[in-house]
Each structure stands twice: as structure tokens, then as C-alpha cells.
Amino acid sequence: MKLSRRKFTYLSVLTLLLSGVIFGSTALRLKNSWVLRDDD
């Protein structure tokens, strides 16, 4: 399936969130639609 540029960008953001990549100095994650800190 070919992803549109918009979908690709959005999925990249989601992936970064889900994998706990460091944004600034704080690790964030997405769970059940909540944007959380890793220590939550």
C-alpha cells in the first residue's frame, strides 16, 4: 500500500510517541488516546 505524504508524516509522529522517543528531555507515549509521560 502506498502511503500519502500526509499519512506517512502522521504515522511517523504516532510511532515516535508510541516508542517513547525523547521529545526534549521528557519521554512521552500515547496509550488509549492519552498523551502520557513515561513515568505516568
Partner 1 sequence: MILTLDQSPETLSADVCIIGAGAAGITVARKLMQQSRSVILCEAGGLDFADESQSNYQGQVEGNAYYDLEIARLRYFGGSTNHWSGWCRPLDEYDFAAKKDKPLTAWPISIDAVEPYLKETREILELETGVGDQVLGSSGLKRVAFEFSPPVRFGEKYQVELEQQKIIKVLLNANLVGTEFDGRRITAVKVRDYHGNERLVRARNFVLACGGIENSRLLLWLQRIGQLPATVQTGLIGRYWMEHPHAPVGDVVITSPHSFKFNDIALDFFAPTKAFMESHSTLNCQLYLKTTKYGGAKEVIADLLCTAPAVGEWAMRQLGKDLACVAQLKAAWEQEPVHANRITLDDKRDAFGIPRAVLHWTRNAQDLRTVRETTLAFAKHCARTDIGRVRLADWLTKTGNDLPDFDEMGGYHHMGGTRMAASSEAGVVDANCLVFGSDNFYLAGSSVFPSVGHANPTFTIVQLSLRLADHLRKQMAARA
Residues that bind partner 1 (CB under 8 A): 6-7, 10-11, 13-14, 23-24, 26, 28, 30-37, 39-40
Distance CA 28, CA 38 (A): 6
Nearer to partner 1, 2 or 33 (CB): 33
Sign of CA dihedral 32, 34, 37, 40: negative
The grid cell for 27 is 519521554
* Minimum distance, C-beta of residue 2 to partner 1, in the bound complex (Å): 14
Nearer to partner 1, 2 or 6 (CB): 6
